[in-house]
Amino acid sequence: MSNKTKIVTVLVFPSSRKEKFKEMTQNNFEARVKEPAVNNLANKRVRFLLSQHYGVGLRDVHLLTGHKSSKKRFEIML
């Protein structure tokens, strides 16, 4: 089992018409999600998208900062 972690920054646009998730530069992403920024829905969706991108489980993706901001930092356990 590997103990490597990666910190990534995600700029989130909640309540978007179309979902779009793309890597802008290394460790920097832009996420447009349909979910609104209420009840943690947009954060949960971004967390899911990151887990899919890196091929890890949801338990391996943690929101570090930006719980109520559009700019968020996530830790991914690889």
Instruction: Decide which of 3.30.1200.10, 3.40.50.2300, 1.10.15.40, 3.40.50.300 is the CATH code for 5-77.
Output: 3.30.1200.10
pLDDT digits (tens, 9 = 90+) for 18-54: 999 999 999 999 999 999 999 999 999 999 999 999 9
In contact, 51 and 60? CB cutoff 8 Å: yes
Examine the pLDDT at 57 and tell me if it is beyond 60: yes
% of the chain beyond a pLDDT of 90: 96
Q: What is the pTM of this model?
A: 0.93
More confidently predicted of 2 and 66:
66
Examine the pLDDT at 1 and tell me if it is beyond 70: no
Q: How far apart are the first and last CA of the chain?
A: 9
Neighbouring residues of 22: CB distance < 8 A, sequence distance ≥ 6: 29, 30
